[in-house]
């Protein structure tokens, strides 16, 4: 009988009161809250590994993580027990046994983020304030043209946070497209890729909004991408509009 069992967790959380995913001394984080609850249930200290590190203020509907727990505790009703201990802004959507070799981060083949824009200039619904970027009217056609030209494999250095150490800035963006939100005032953008650099989605969205406002042409947006240098003129979208939608794995 193995000494431990690996669990795969699918998590949803509101990012407003978290200082991001990753453990930080003296700060409330998703990983910290999750490990605190899991340690109580496992009867020993555990380490949780997430599919990605969301920034402070970023939400999630489908963050994925894994954790090893003692085999003697494997038959606990993990989802119900975990949700009884987690704070109201963090929920285990699904908990199941996984292969001992499953890794939430390294096995992921695609991640999809959702970014929501509020385009109505006259008002902003209070219950949507924490989940949207209020931009005012935008030229969706111009944004779509720019988005389609960004799809593909390239260096995304121009869209990463300055000073972020990575082995390679090359990523493949599979799709960027727009959908209607919960009402006509909302414009929702979905971005899927094999991985993302720090604040890459927020910088892409910042650039697309500048295109939508006529402050940046489609050609200028593409030139920035090709140059590979982070430009201060490229806006960074606020964290509140961003949500990790899902993480996909091989069948």
Torsion of CA 148, 152, 154, 157, to 10 degrees: 50
- Contact indicator for 115, 191 with CB cutoff of 8 Å: yes
- Contact indicator for 110, 250 with CB cutoff of 8 Å: no
**What DSSP assignment string belongs to 82-103?**
HHHHS-TTEEEEEEEE--TT--
Q: Is 55 an annotated catalytic residue?
A: yes
How far is residue 58's CA from residue 70's CA, in Å, rounded to a whole number? 32
- Helix residue ranges per DSSP H, the chain: 30-42, 78-85, 140-150, 200-212, 218-227
Burial of residue 134 (number of CB atoms within 10 Å: 0-12, 13-18, 19+): middle
**Catalytic residue among 17, 55, 89, 223, which?**
55
How far is residue 25's CA from residue 32's CA, in Å, rounded to a whole number? 10
Contacts of 161 (CB under 8 A, 6+ apart): 197, 198, 199, 203, 230
Question: Which residues have a catalytic role annotated?
Answer: 55
């Amino acid at each position: 009988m193995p000494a431990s069992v690996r669990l795969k967790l699918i998590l949803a959380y509101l990012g407003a009161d978290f200082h991001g995913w990753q453990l930080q001394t003296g700060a409330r984080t998703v990983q910290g809250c999750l490990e605190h609850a899991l340690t109580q249930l496992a009867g020993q200290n555990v380490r949780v590994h997430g599919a990605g590190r969301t920034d402070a203020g970023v939400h999630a509907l489908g963050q994925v993580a894994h954790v090893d727990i003692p085999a003697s505790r494997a038959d606990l009703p993990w989802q119900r027990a975990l949700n009884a201990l987690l704070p109201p802004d963090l929920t285990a959507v699904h908990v199941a046994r996984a292969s001992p070799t499953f890794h939430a981060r390294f096995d992921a083949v695609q991640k999809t983020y959702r970014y929501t824009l509020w385009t109505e200039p006259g008002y902003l619904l209070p219950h949507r304030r924490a989940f949207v970027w209020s931009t005012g009217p935008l030229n969706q056609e111009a944004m779509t043209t720019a988005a389609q030209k960004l799809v593909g494999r390239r260096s995304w250095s121009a869209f990463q946070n300055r000073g972020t150490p990575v082995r390679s800035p090359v990523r493949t963006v599979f799709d960027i497209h727009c959908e209607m939100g919960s009402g006509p005032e909302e414009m929702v953008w979905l971005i899927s890729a094999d991985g993302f650099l720090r604040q890459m989605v927020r910088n892409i969205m910042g650039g697309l909004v500048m295109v939508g406002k006529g402050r940046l042409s489609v050609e200028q947006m593409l030139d920035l991408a090709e140059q590979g240098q982070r430009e201060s003129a490229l806006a960074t979208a606020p964290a509140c509009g961003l949500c990790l939608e899902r993480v996909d794995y091989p069948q």
